[in-house]
Amino acid sequence: MKPGRSHLATTCVLAFIIGLAISGAAQAEPRRTTVEDCAACHGLDGIARDTEVPHLAGQNERYLFNQMVAFRTGKRVHKEMRYMARAMSIEEIGALAAYYASLPMR
């Protein structure tokens, strides 16, 4: 391969990898509507207003993720949470878990 083509190939590969990283970062953020849907019960700040609903702010990210997956698969039973979890992709569940875990506990 000529030096010019080698440089071009390397540039194309790097551009592709950077593009994947950028698109992955954009997908890692929860959709605003997803956060707002959760906020109806759990609060936008992760603090539930109803004593029967758990606070999510400051919870362990892995715990939140695992619980949402359990609701999604039916391993953990709760009609509303199963509906919500099944409407989200695994990436959205991960982003949502990260969002609520990043909020300060009160």
In Å, what is the CA distance from 71 to each residue of 24, 34, 80? 25, 16, 9
pLDDT score of 61: 97
pLDDT for 72: 96
Looking at the structure of the chain, the number of domains it has is: 2
CA angle centred on 42, ends 36 and 43, rounded to 5°: 60
Judge whether residue 25 has pLDDT over 50: no
Question: Domain containing 78: what range?
Answer: 31-102
Place of tokens 């605003």: 32
Lowest-confidence region among 3-7, 43-47, 50-54: 3-7
Q: What's the pTM?
A: 0.68
Inter-CA distances, 88 with 1, 10, 14, 19, Å: 46, 36, 31, 24
- 2 & 17 share domain: yes
Task: Check whether residue 56 and residue 12 sit in a common domain.
Answer: no
CATH number, domain at 80?
1.10.760.10
- If you average pLDDT over residues 47-61, what whole number do you get? 96
Instruction: Indicate whether 57 and 93 sit together in one domain.
Output: yes
pLDDT of 27 strictly over 70: no
Q: How far apart are CA 85 and CA 15, in angstroms?
A: 34
